[in-house]
Amino acid sequence: MEKDSPTPLAVVYVVDSKKAYLYYRTNDKHLRKCVKASGSVVWGSEMNVKTAHKVADDSQITATYDGKHIHLFYVADGETPGGGKFEHTIDKEL
C-alpha cells in the first residue's frame, strides 16, 4: 500500500481584509505565502514567512485565522513526523 502524500499547502480567507492567503513549502523547505485580494484574478508576489522554521518534506501545513493573526501548524524540518511535535508560527503581516 502506498503512503498518502501530505498537503504542503494551506489557504485561509480573511473576511476583514477580503484577502486569501496561500501558504506553501518550497523545494528548499522554506514556508512562503502569496496573497490574493477578493475580485482579483491574480495572486500577488510570493513572500517568505519571516518567523517560520523550515518545513519537513513529509509535513502537511494547516492555517487558521483568529481575528487578528494567521496561525500556521506544521512539522519542522528535522523533527520526526508523527512524533507529536508541531511547529506553531504566527503570521502577523496581514
How much is the pLDDT for 2?
54
When comparing pLDDT for 93 and 89, which is higher? Answer: 89
Q: What is the pLDDT of residues 27-83, one digit of tens each?
A: 899 999 999 999 999 999 999 998 899 999 888 999 999 999 999 999 998 876 667
What is the distance between the alpha carbons of residues 55 and 37, in angstroms, rounded to a whole number?
Answer: 26
How much is the pLDDT for 66?
95
Indicate if the pLDDT at residue 1 is higher than 60. Answer: no
Beta strands in the chain (DSSP E): 9-14, 19-25, 31-37, 47-48, 62-65, 70-74, 87-91
